[in-house]
Structure 1
Amino acid sequence: MSTLSRPGTWYLFDYGMVISAAPLQADWDALREATGLDLQNASSPYWATRLEFDGGALSPAAYWAGVLGRDAEADEVARLEELDARQWSRVNPRTMQVLQDLADEGAQLALLSNMPAEMSFRYEAGAPWVTYFRKLYFSGRLGMVKPDSRIYKHVLADLGAAPEDVVFIDDNAANIDAAQALGIQAVRHTEDTDLRQELSLSAER
């Protein structure tokens, strides 16, 4: 089996649609039942202020009030937060295997995710992927989001790594472009990506 990692390199993973799989239809149906709204469409209020929520500019109560178009009681917010965290909690088994293989090689692993703070705390307390990472960076705690260059510069400084010594894996083209503009190596992750092959090729360069 080919080597996936290169000594001295940090492998910086996104979470959503890289480590996590896409929500199931049943997940969106559960949110529709709870809210009375179809939130799956890209034009829905679920997405309208999601980046602000991810960046910590909105509290859960404020975010869900925007989604619902009205204020929500604390117990309703808690229920919606639970459903939201659940729908993004399913992991991609192929990525999990790559993480295991990288860990077996002793690779340096870090995570950089646009994620609301409360969701990140929930996952950090018990999600199966957390233990692979030496460093975890969440936008909701940092107050900045990808693709803002500041968040990449923060991560590089905290890792003590040169851009060329970081391989960034993300599903969003804008995030990839922003990382590459700083000299970070990057792999765009899609449903068709053979991540093992991409990392093997990177390790050979």
Structure 2
Amino acid sequence: MNKIKAVLLDFGNVISEQQDTTCFDRMASLTGLSRDVFVDGFRRYRSEFDRGTLPGLEMYRNILNDAGYRHETSAQASEKGPSLDELTERLLDEDLTAWTRISGPVTEWALGLQKNGYKIGILSNMPFEFLERFESRVPLFLAVDAAVFSCRVNLVKPEPEIYREAVKALGVQAEEIVFFDDIQINIDAARAEKLNAFLWTSLAQAKKDLEPLLA
């Protein structure tokens, strides 16, 4: 087996804490629509949002249109209420902010691995808007040896090419990388590209998965 030289991490629910799903309740309150409108709509448009081909404001306009939302007849369209542009800005802000709780223990663990000579990388499905607002505030974004974000390469997991981009960015062989992600289909795709890949369920489990490979 190849010697492990790098650890590659997903962002959402790995480096970040679990998404704050109360954001969907606040979206519902802002619009008078069901929270399921936003849960389902986000899933429907997420891939192209992360790929960087669908701006966030346009995504939320689409979600509202799909739900038959008519701003001019809603309570939000009163004289003192926000314009449609302001409303979609608020919806996008709720979306992005829901991912900003960063795990201190995971950050500390990854930086410790880096200090011990392992390259650390990030491979994440990530929209432009999140990076524009928060990239400079996430310690690992600034410290890692390589970061491949979907919006910057116009690829999304589980497409094979995005894993190849990450391997190239880290400058090692695929077999020398351990990858953690919280979605099984992304793990399966990584394994198909010869990465050592494990489903992330907790930091404690990740340490157990990684330890034998570093021994």
In structure 2, the CA distance between the partners of 1:104 and 1:193, relative to structure 1 (3 Å rule), is same
SS of the residue corresponding to residue 106 of structure 1 reads coil
Once the two structures are TM-superposed, the CA of residue 27 in structure 1 deviates from its matched residue by 2.9
2:195 to 167, 184, 191: 184
Counting helix residues as a fraction of each chain, which structure ranks higher?
A: 2
1:13 to 9, 15, 20: 9
- The letter of the residue matching 1:135 is A
TM-score normalised per structure 1: 0.85
In structure 2, the CA distance between the partners of 1:81 and 1:148, relative to structure 1 (3 Å rule), is same
Asked if 1:136 is matched to 2:136, the reply is: no
Alignment of 1:13-162 (within 5 A): 13-39=9-35, 44-69=40-65, 73-162=84-173
- Is the Cα contact below 8 Å between 1:11 and 1:107 reproduced in 2? yes
- The letter of the residue matching 1:137 is V
The gaps in structure 1 that reach 5 residues or longer are 1-5
SS of the residue corresponding to residue 52 of structure 2 reads coil
Once the two structures are TM-superposed, the CA of residue 21 in structure 1 deviates from its matched residue by 1.5
In structure 2, the CA distance between the partners of 1:157 and 1:23, relative to structure 1 (3 Å rule), is closer
SS of the residue corresponding to residue 180 of structure 1 reads helix
Q: Which has the larger radius of gyration?
A: 2
In structure 2, the CA distance between the partners of 1:203 and 1:119, relative to structure 1 (3 Å rule), is same
In structure 2, the CA distance between the partners of 1:30 and 1:160, relative to structure 1 (3 Å rule), is same
Identity of aligned residues (%): 29
SS of the residue corresponding to residue 121 of structure 2 reads strand
- The letter of the residue matching 2:121 is A
Aligned partners of 2:99, 2:39: CA distance in 1, in Å? 19
- Is the Cα contact below 8 Å between 1:9 and 1:107 reproduced in 2? yes
Aligned partners of 2:147, 2:6: CA distance in 1, in Å? 12
- Is the Cα contact below 8 Å between 1:98 and 1:196 reproduced in 2? no
Once the two structures are TM-superposed, the CA of residue 193 in structure 1 deviates from its matched residue by 5.3
Once the two structures are TM-superposed, the CA of residue 122 in structure 1 deviates from its matched residue by 1.9
TM-score normalised per structure 2: 0.81
Asked if 1:167 is matched to 2:163, the reply is: no
Once the two structures are TM-superposed, the CA of residue 15 in structure 1 deviates from its matched residue by 0.4
Aligned partners of 1:139, 1:147: CA distance in 2, in Å? 11
Once the two structures are TM-superposed, the CA of residue 47 in structure 1 deviates from its matched residue by 1.2
Bigger drift between 164-173 and 29-38 goes to 29-38
CA-based RMSD: 2.5
Give the paired residue count.
199
1:3 aligns to what? none
- The letter of the residue matching 1:12 is L
CA distances 1:55-94 after superposition (whole Å, capped 9, x unpaired) = 1121122211122126984433332222111101112343
- Is the Cα contact below 8 Å between 2:175 and 2:194 reproduced in 1? yes
Aligned partners of 1:181, 1:54: CA distance in 2, in Å? 22
SS of the residue corresponding to residue 91 of structure 1 reads coil
